[in-house]
Amino acid sequence: MSQGIITPEFDPPLTCARAEIENGVGWAILNRPDKRNAMSPALNDDMLAILEAFEIDERVKVVVITGAGDTFSAGMDLKEFFRDLDHLPYNQKMRVKRSAWQWQWKTLLYYQKPTIAMVNGWCFGGAFTPLVACDLAIAADDAQFGLSEINWGIIPGGQVTKAITATMAHRDAMFYAITGETFDGKKASEMRLVNESVPAERLRERTYELAQQLAGKNPTVMRGTKMAVRMVQEMSWDVSDDYLMAKSSEALFLDPERGRQQGLKQFLDDKSYKPGLSGYARESGE
């Protein structure tokens, strides 16, 4: 049943981002549309605050990151994140910049709840970092992506190069990084930078539908599964085998709703569902 949209309070109040909770979906919205949601230090602080709050908010099951207006994000703020900080001593500069690395990469990478990037328009440079750090991504067909760093004289840092080589094929990553050419949402989907692209008018609806699908899953198993998919990539087969065994035991031990038992009982004894086709009926509803 719809609970409508809840706007949680923040202290200090958010100035460059917006947080909304809608039926288990936490919308974390970059909110500087007049600056094409360029990521300034204040915006980075706000996004970190939202993600940290959503992670422990029981009302939030899935987080969607998107941008206000017609833009996902024009990347790092060239004025407030670069030029205005250039004069600061190195340590002070790093202190100001820390929230960017934190929310755009580390927090998202190890996030306890599933995350979706919803790319609704321009997506440049530094915006590729949170885009790739999210578990899934959906773009509007006509969204415009660009690794524009080469166009204004820097190497794609802030994990952007690492992020594109983790998702795109070598030729594609290299082509777009060294030409700075833009590509649209359809092309991003074809290159597997995003999971899918849809017509702009369907973007929110499709993202919400996917978020609800994820919200219906067992959260303990969801957390273990998404972490395992990330972690095993760097492991040998033997280490992965042992890690997955340990993670499976951890999920069994930690799962308050005892999902495995419910799943087996409902299929084998009650014959009330088919695990190949849908999830078990979650008694806790949590």
Residues that bind ligand COA (CB under 6 A): 35-36, 38, 74-79, 122, 124-126, 148-149, 152
* Beta carbon nearer to ligand COA, 72 or 280: 72
Give the distance between the most distant pair of CA atoms in the chain.
69
* Beta carbon nearer to ligand COA, 144 or 167: 144
Cβ at position 193, least distance to ligand COA in Å: 16
Cβ at position 81, least distance to ligand COA in Å: 8
Q: Left (φ > 0), alpha (ψ -120 to 50) or beta: where does 64 sit?
A: beta
* 191 vs 184: CA distance, rounded Å: 11
Cβ at position 158, least distance to ligand COA in Å: 8
* Beta carbon nearer to ligand COA, 128 or 280: 128
Cβ at position 150, least distance to ligand COA in Å: 10
The residue ranges of DSSP E strands in 52-161, in sequence order, are 62-67, 71-73, 115-119, 122-124, 136-140, 144-146
Tokens 């940290």 — which residue? 52
CA distances from 13 to 47, 59, 60, 278 (A): 12, 20, 19, 41
* Beta carbon nearer to ligand COA, 110 or 152: 152
Cβ at position 20, least distance to ligand COA in Å: 23
Which helix H or strand E contains 170, and what residues bound it?
helix 170-179
Among positive and negative, which fits the CA dihedral 81, 87, 92, 93?
positive
* Beta carbon nearer to ligand COA, 114 or 130: 130
